[in-house]
A = this chain, B = another copy of it.
């Protein structure tokens, strides 16, 4: 681990996720999801930020984008962005992420989901914060579109409590939700 690096990993899942009609879909990778969450991850020492999509054309697009900022003109124009995007890893699915981390740590990471609604297997913020403090490998899954599909939610060891803002409205962007979750777990 490099200086300030934690045992927290993030994964942004593009398939399978839900649409507004509660159907299972895949979503397209968006440029700002990559940049915003990578910059936030770098600020807090998130060890790696995985972008998961099963489509080859999406891989081609994301690789081109990452290459611009890591090795192309973007790397010279904005070295801070190069640094942030250096911790992005493009993967095909959740299995690939879990295998990578299992190889690295010799055990499966603790898999945590986030959700706008309360779930049964909820882990309090403070407890997860302590487990990360103890260097336990923790992988947080973030859903795009209208959230993670049931088959992904079922793979989680625990779920974080919904972010409560004191109103009935709960439609945060995944970029806002990721920032708030990581600040609650790693912020000082």
Q: Interface on A for B, CB 8 Å cutoff? A: 3-6, 32, 35-36, 39-40, 42-45, 80-81, 83-84, 163-173, 175-177, 179-180, 183-184, 186-188
Contact = CB atoms under 8 A, between A and B. Distances in A.
Contact of A183 (B32, B163, B188): B163
Nearest to A78: B20
Given A175-B36, A179-B176, A183-B180, A83 B169 contact: yes
Given A4-B166, A4-B167, A183-B163, A172 B45 contact: no
Given A43-B163, A43-B169, A84-B171, A36 B176 contact: yes
Nearest to A171: B80
B166 A44 contact: yes
Contact of A180 (B5, B39, B187): B187
